[in-house]
Structure 1
């Protein structure tokens, strides 16, 4: 799924703020008075886990004025293989550091994953859905680049018309789906 930078930032901030206090007004006050570095740390911790997951979610059509929503099954289907690979890689890295035979580590991981997969995936689905609840409604000007309406090609200059200084021709060629980030 393609999300805009604004959508991802809003979801992360909303989730972190919701964890500060059960009253939204109190949470906002705590956030406002919190020093910048602790705010950054909280956003960074959530973002490290959630941002890769956002790219795994299935592409769905989201109409302007609606909030992107995903079923638990959609999130679980996207997460399960990703989580399995992450945990497998961690298990193998730990085995290599400990000097354990890789075959033994793989067998141990496979047995653990067969037993723990449902619970691990369910916990991560709950976390991801918690963040997704804070996605803003999609606006017309906040469509992801691949869903943005294509711009009409510029008109060709008239023959004999010189290239005036400062014209758009001295700008680099940008891809047709280029979108200025929301924060600019």
Structure 2
């Protein structure tokens, strides 16, 4: 639930993950992830406003969108982040939005990217001490209003478009033109 503009406190976004085992919270200062049972904070990062925080079930994969007076990054940019260690990094190009893609070998998510001809290794692997790493950054023509994930798809909602990606390789599958949808309803 995006709370941007509706609240005077620091809270910008709050949502359960798909199996209701975690809560993701976006604030004017960053984001936090809480475990529901037993309740407790499992991750937090403070580096600027985050208006959308979507988790992939109870994995370390999180989709982030900047927001607030001092956003962590543009509200037009989607950042897919791994809150655990990563081992390899590569650059992605091709259809749809372009960006940097990092492969996480500690989980099977995005494991098939290595077979894609559009991806090439561009940088040395990050050190194992890095806690949070960016897997993919996508920039869109207008502000992102909603993001949804499941094990196969990533959905990004703009005011007049919906983008559908294959989460295993971040390939754009569909761009759907919509009537104006300023609330980002799915």
TM-score (structure 2 length as normaliser):
0.22
Q: Which structure carries more relative contact order (alpha carbon 8 Å, separation 6+)?
A: 1
More strand by share: 2
Specify which structure has the higher proportion of helix.
Answer: 1
TM-score normalised by length of structure 1: 0.22
- The structure having more radius of gyration, on CA atoms, is 1
